[in-house]
């Protein structure tokens, strides 16, 4: 399965589950999950392999929340990421080559 197909399946799951949380609720959920990821990352006493598994699971939950947001706001995430990449890479390369 391609990433795009998985993203769409996740959006479809939200539809089927009848989840229609407003974006404000989803942003709170996202914030909580990002904080969890941050807390896991800070737990140096956890063995690295276990920490990586926990971070992977937390990131999956973050992405799942983002699929819900993209569904709610009808965002074409491929296009949105492409535009963000263009602007970020243009800015990066502009700075990189102006310094030389």
Kindly report the CATH number assigned to the domain that includes residue 47: 1.10.287
- Cα dihedral 69/92/87/22 (nearest 10): 20
Q: Which helix (H) or strand (E) holds 31?
A: helix 23-42
pLDDT < 70 regions, the chain: 99-100
Domain that holds residue 64: 3-98
Question: pTM of the full predicted structure?
Answer: 0.85
Structure tokens at 73: 């706001």
Looking at residue 20, its pLDDT comes to 74
Q: How many domains does the chain have?
A: 1
Q: Who's near 51: CB < 8 A, 6+ residues apart?
A: 40, 41, 43
pLDDT in tens, 60-86: 999 999 999 999 999 999 999 999 999
Q: How far is CA 4 from CA 1, 56, 69, 92, in A?
A: 8, 19, 15, 27
């Amino acid at each position: 399965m391609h990433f795009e197909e998985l993203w769409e399946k996740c959006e479809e799951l939200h539809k089927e589950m009848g989840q229609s949380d407003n974006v404000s609720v989803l942003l709170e959920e996202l914030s909580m999950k990002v904080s969890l990821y941050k807390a896991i990352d800070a737990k140096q006493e956890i063995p690295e392999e276990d920490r990586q598994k926990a971070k992977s699971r937390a990131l999956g939950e973050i992405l799942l929340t983002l699929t819900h947001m993209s569904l709610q706001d009808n965002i074409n995430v491929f296009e949105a990421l492409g535009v963000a990449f263009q602007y970020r890479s243009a800015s990066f390369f502009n700075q990189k080559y102006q310094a030389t």
